[in-house]
Structure 1
Amino acid sequence: MMLAGRTILITGAARGLGRAIALTCAEQGARLVLADIDSDGVQATAVDLGARAVTVDLGDPESITALGDSLAATGEPLHGLVNCAALATNVGGMGFEDIELDLWDRVQRINVRGTWLMTRACAPMLRASGSGRVVNVASDTALWGAPRLLSYTASKGAVMAMTRSLARELGPDRVGVTCIAPGILTTESTEYVPETRHRLYGDGRAVPGPQAAEDVTGTVAFLVSEAALTLTGQVLPVNNGFVFVT
């Protein structure tokens, strides 16, 4: 129960990896605030876990500010933020020359700006907790340079870079900021991905085969715990050995 007594906010918690992270954090004793643009989905997850559900649109700065204000108004501590929500569906499959400007801008607005604004909105509460933790969810596509996925890959590379800068800015207040970079997971969120790409990952991993969301969630639970401060600024490729970093 390494998260007993800690309150964790998880975005993108309605389904997929975000929901799986919420389940593991609940098992580890965390009090949860679950956020997603899918109001019905996140409410269902919250009911299952006895958590608080909130609706947020990462593409709307006012929505993010309102979420931060509502959490601050409770006067309760916030010990962790998991920035899991992102736009990934139907953003690939095309060469870089064919990406439409509107798609590029939307991916960056949600995946990059949304992550920054969520962290900014929660930073005062994380500082006040005395042991705040931020975990950003990136992707190993930004580590190996996945083709025909440039808008998404670029956004996740930016999330990795932000992690390092945020770690330096928040470190003096003992707020740790880390980043995980999983590969393709077997969730409902990746059903649209061509089987050839799933096979590429499965065959190329040091531990061959598919990777479930549950293979990642234990790492996230540790990273939002008090014990993880010494890892601040690090990007962890939690991908069963598809990509190694030095």
Structure 2
Amino acid sequence: MTDNVQLLAGRKVFVTGAARGLGLAFATAIAEAGAQVAMADILTDVLEESVAALQARGLSVHGFTLDMADPASIDTCASAAIAKLGGLDGLVNNAAITNSGGRSSEQLDIALWDRVMDVNVRGTWLMTNACLPALRASGNGAVVNLASDTPLWGAPNLLAYVASKGAIIGMTRSLAREEGKHNITVNAVAPGLTKVEATEYVPEQRYQHYHDGRALQRLQVPEDVTGAVLFALSGLSRFITGQVIAVNGGFVMN
């Protein structure tokens, strides 16, 4: 267990893209901080293993199948997760795909562009909408959108993904203004290049570029990002909304 065991005590939190990588790290830290957690992912087999491992530790987690490209799946998953938790206090919109890595703008095709936008942007929008009634009912709702530091510095050869995460930042600010009257905070966490399964495709040259440009010159791991997510979900940040928290060791400073 972590030192944050009581930080989210009694909270009910839904994490998308939670089967592995950053999403699993978030779900684990949130559960360790005392919350009940619904974990959703399209990788059903991996998700089942992750949920079972956390349940074996005595953590309150539940798994749900989710396809962020399918609006019906989003609605079904959100409804099931909220019903299982008995309400909702926090949503972590983590599920996303990259798909455009290593390609220049001219090498992207329309189908790939649309796939990235459907999952990363439309999916995040629809999932948030599906959860808003429960978050409003909470009275202290919090939405944490996973952005990226790539649109903060203009990462090349990753255009569809970078554009989608730039859209997430804009969405975060707009939703923060719309939902403030319901006492819902909406913030974005923008990690730098983090060593997880989803970044295995990244060439060593890009890792070195990040390493050399960081004020804290070491490899970024999932545990480096969990603190910002816990903070954004907790009572410590109730007057912080519409913000982008860059978590990248000082590679980008804003």
TM-score (norm 2): 0.93
- Determine whether 1:67 maps to 2:77: yes
Inter-CA distance 216–244: structure 2 relative to 1 (3 Å threshold)? same
- Determine whether 1:92 maps to 2:97: no
Shift of 1:94: 1.3
Please name the residue that 2:237 is paired with. 228
Give me the whole-angstrom Cα distance separating, in 1, the residues matched to 2:85 and 2:11: 14
1:52 to 57, 62, 70: 62
Structure 2 segments unaligned to the other structure (5+ residues):
1-5, 56-60
Q: Which amino acid is 1:61 matched to?
A: P
Shift of 1:222: 1.2
Please name the residue that 1:80 is paired with. 90
2:24 to 13, 19, 27: 19
- CA distances 1:101-133 after superposition (whole Å, capped 9, x unpaired): 100000000000000011000000001011110
* Deviating more after overlay: 227-236 vs 161-170: 227-236
Shift of 1:71: 3.5
Please name the residue that 2:247 is paired with. 238
**Is 2:195–2:219's contact at 8 Å kept on the other side of the alignment?**
yes
* Deviating more after overlay: 225-234 vs 167-176: 225-234
Shift of 1:69: 2.4
- Determine whether 1:161 maps to 2:180: no
- Determine whether 1:219 maps to 2:228: yes
Q: Which amino acid is 1:33 matched to?
A: A
Inter-CA distance 76–197: structure 2 relative to 1 (3 Å threshold)? same
Give me the whole-angstrom Cα distance separating, in 1, the residues matched to 2:148 and 2:195: 14
Instruction: State how many pairs are aligned.
Output: 244
2:35 to 16, 30, 52: 30
Give me the whole-angstrom Cα distance separating, in 2, the residues matched to 1:171 and 1:215: 28
Structure 1 segments unaligned to the other structure (5+ residues):
none
Alignment of structure 1 residues 66-215 onto 2, 5 Å: 66-74=76-84, 76-88=86-98, 90-215=99-224
Give me the whole-angstrom Cα distance separating, in 1, the residues matched to 2:45 and 2:131: 24
**Overall identity of the aligned pairs, in %:** 52
**Is 2:39–2:62's contact at 8 Å kept on the other side of the alignment?**
yes
Shift of 1:73: 4.0
CA RMSD of superposed structures (Å):
1.1
SS of residue paired to 2:239: helix
Shift of 1:21: 0.7
Inter-CA distance 207–72: structure 2 relative to 1 (3 Å threshold)? closer
- CA distances 1:27-70 after superposition (whole Å, capped 9, x unpaired): 11111100000111112121122211000100000001112222
Shift of 1:75: 7.4
Shift of 1:226: 2.3
Q: Which amino acid is 1:28 matched to?
A: A
TM-score (norm 1): 0.96
SS of residue paired to 1:232: coil
Give me the whole-angstrom Cα distance separating, in 1, the residues matched to 2:32 and 2:76: 29
Give me the whole-angstrom Cα distance separating, in 1, the residues matched to 2:11 and 2:83: 18
Q: Which amino acid is 2:36 matched to?
A: R
**Is 2:88–2:134's contact at 8 Å kept on the other side of the alignment?**
yes
Give me the whole-angstrom Cα distance separating, in 1, the residues matched to 2:235 and 2:138: 11
SS of residue paired to 1:219: helix
Q: Which amino acid is 1:147 matched to?
A: P
